[in-house]
């Protein structure tokens, strides 16, 4: 199901990270209290009632609300957010946690499946880490994250080799349908998708996700740099929405990048509920290191090819520098968190949607809300969003490194807000941390920084020869 359908669905319904410094941990069976006693379970039961009878029994000895109890449970808990987290729902959320200052809503990988996942639910407990991170006094020698085009040619080749290495290493998550370490990350995002978008912790959850991926590349596959990012605003041209220049840089090179578009494929109306126009692809990526069969998307139901579906008009308008500036002008974290995602409609530009819609379109892998990490370019896109967060925080670090806000539940802007002690996780591949711990890129949990920016944001695009040939031959 593509990002467009995923948006409609949301509306309706480790590894030590280097940057992430924690003691090494070994998997162990999931604790029963990480199942039905978690807020994520009650939310998932409300949003995805069809899975309620199988969600919790897989991870606890006795289901807290079986199929027979579900109607009563729903009648108690589908009112306003305050009542949903009250002791009336003590079966799912104990009264003690309902009265605490933070509500744990981590959508751990103990979820047997999301509403958009097509994999068969895992029938055995998924391992969880031994411990939460241990704070250290300072962040020494942080890896430097650079824009893709700032990397030397050999660095680009080595980064791509590290990503391919992850696709060859065996999965460790225990999530049904995963084959490789690359799949582990894809699966965790897939499972948590219904709960991690249009919420106050969206950007910090993805900060954690990118840092964990960066660590896997460094610790398991020999990458020595920081996670690269793709600054699409450098090349977006909102004055010429049909321009394809943004796709003609080294980011999409077949030799030192991530390959290009797929051939055009027709889509059905069901696949395109927002009626996006200007599609140019949709088929299997035709060139580069991630073309089939050299790279496959295994989760949730594969293997299959990586697809892309460029929409230049969206890429040029959504990724425009003016939209980045609008996000950076946010007065506080709550405004920032809302502005970076904006509204889930194609008529309202938002920088988060730029890489997803502009590259993935209707039929592309990165355009699928749940499965977008199946495209390796996802990590460069989201790393750029994290860079924008870091830039925003740097304007007033005394305040902005210590504030969070925004809803616990998707789109619930008038309901319960996240707090500094609100928990997020990447279980089973990385442990629980708090938003307080996630706020600082060079703090007690994360340790990385971004390369100092130069004033080259508006420099002319230098078109690569092979892309020039492609344009003139069309």
- Which CATH number characterizes residue 147's domain? 1.10.1280.10
pLDDT computed for residue 454 by the predictor = 64
Q: Tell how far CA 97 is from the center of its chain.
A: 27
pLDDT computed for residue 43 by the predictor = 38
pTM (predicted TM-score):
0.73
CA nearest to 225, candidates 154, 290, 289: 154
Is 43 within the bounds of a domain? Answer: no
Is 47 within the bounds of a domain? Answer: no
What do you get for the CA distance between the two ends of the chain, in Å?
Answer: 30
Domain that holds residue 138: 3-30+130-473
Question: CB-based contacts of 406: which residues, under 8 Å, 6+ apart?
Answer: 199, 200, 201, 202, 333, 334, 337, 338, 413, 417, 418
pLDDT computed for residue 91 by the predictor = 34
CA nearest to 372, candidates 251, 249, 210: 210
Convert the pLDDT of each residue in 228-262 to its tens digit.
Answer: 999 999 999 999 999 999 999 999 999 999 999 99
Is 238 within the bounds of a domain? Answer: yes
pLDDT computed for residue 148 by the predictor = 99
Is 115 within the bounds of a domain? Answer: no
Give the C-alpha separation, 14 to 9, whole Å: 30
CB 310 within 8 A of CB 242: no
Give the C-alpha separation, 319 to 232, whole Å: 6
Joined tokens for residue 282: 């949709």
Is 108 within the bounds of a domain? Answer: no
pLDDT computed for residue 137 by the predictor = 55
Give the C-alpha separation, 429 to 47, whole Å: 24
CB 181 within 8 A of CB 283: no
Is 64 within the bounds of a domain? Answer: no
Give the C-alpha separation, 249 to 359, whole Å: 14
Joined tokens for residue 177: 């349908």
What is the number of structural domains in the chain? 1
Question: Which residues in the chain come in under a pLDDT of 70?
Answer: 1-137, 454-474
Is 117 within the bounds of a domain? Answer: no
- Alpha helix positions (H), 57-201: 70-77, 81-84, 95-98, 153-168, 181-192
Is 267 within the bounds of a domain? Answer: yes
Give the C-alpha separation, 204 to 393, whole Å: 12
């Amino acid at each position: 199901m593509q990002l467009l359908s995923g948006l409609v669905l949301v509306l309706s319904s480790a590894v030590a990270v280097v940057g992430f410094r924690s003691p090494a941990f070994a998997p162990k069976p999931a604790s029963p209290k990480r199942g039905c006693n978690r807020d994520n379970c009650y939310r998932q039961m409300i949003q995805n009632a069809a899975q309620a009878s199988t969600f919790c029994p897989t991870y606890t000895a006795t289901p807290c609300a079986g199929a027979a109890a579900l109607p009563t449970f729903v009648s108690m808990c589908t009112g306003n957010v305050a009542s949903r987290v009250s002791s009336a729902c003590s079966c799912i959320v104990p009264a003690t946690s309902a009265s605490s200052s933070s509500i744990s809503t981590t959508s751990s990988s103990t979820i047997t499946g999301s509403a958009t996942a097509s994999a068969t639910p895992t029938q055995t407990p998924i391992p969880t880490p031994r411990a939460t991170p241990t704070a250290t006094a300072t962040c020494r020698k942080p890896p430097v994250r650079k824009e893709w085009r700032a990397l030397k040619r050999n660095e680009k080749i080595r980064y791509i080799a590290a990503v391919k290495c992850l696709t060859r290493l065996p999965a460790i998550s225990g999530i049904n349908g995963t084959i490789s370490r690359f799949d582990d990350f894809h699966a965790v995002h897939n499972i948590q998708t219904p709960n991690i978008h249009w919420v106050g912790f969206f950007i910090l959850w993805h900060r954690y996700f990118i840092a964990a991926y960066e660590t896997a590349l460094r610790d398991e596959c020999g990458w020595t740099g920081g996670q690269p990012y793709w600054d699409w605003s450098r090349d977006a041209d909102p004055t010429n929405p049909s321009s394809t220049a943004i796709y003609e840089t080294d980011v999409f090179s077949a030799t030192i990048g991530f390959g290009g578009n797929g051939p055009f494929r027709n889509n059905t109306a069901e696949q395109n509920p927002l009626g996006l126009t200007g599609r140019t692809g949709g088929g299997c990526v035709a060139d580069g290191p991630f073309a089939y069969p050299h790279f496959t998307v295994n989760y949730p139901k594969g293997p299959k090819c990586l697809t892309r579906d460029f929409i230049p008009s969206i890429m040029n308008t959504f990724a425009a520098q003016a939209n980045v500036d609008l996000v950076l002008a946010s007065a506080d974290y709550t405004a920032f968190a809302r502005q970076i995602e904006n509204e889930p409609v194609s008529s309202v530009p938002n920088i988060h949607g730029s890489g997803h819609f502009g590259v993935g379109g209707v039929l592309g892998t990165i355009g699928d809300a749940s499965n977008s990490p199946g495209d390796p370019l996802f990590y460069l896109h989201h790393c750029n969003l994290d860079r924008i967060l870091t830039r925003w925080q740097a304007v007033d670090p005394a305040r902005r490194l210590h504030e969070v806000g925004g809803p616990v539940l998707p789109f619930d802007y008038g309901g319960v807000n996240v707090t500094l002690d609100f928990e997020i996780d990447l279980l089973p591949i990385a442990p629980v941390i708090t938003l307080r711990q996630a706020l600082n890129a060079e703090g007690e949990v994360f340790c990385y920084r971004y390369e100092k920016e130069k004033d080259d944001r508006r420099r002319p695009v230098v078109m690569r020869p092979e892309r020039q040939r492609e344009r003139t031959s069309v």
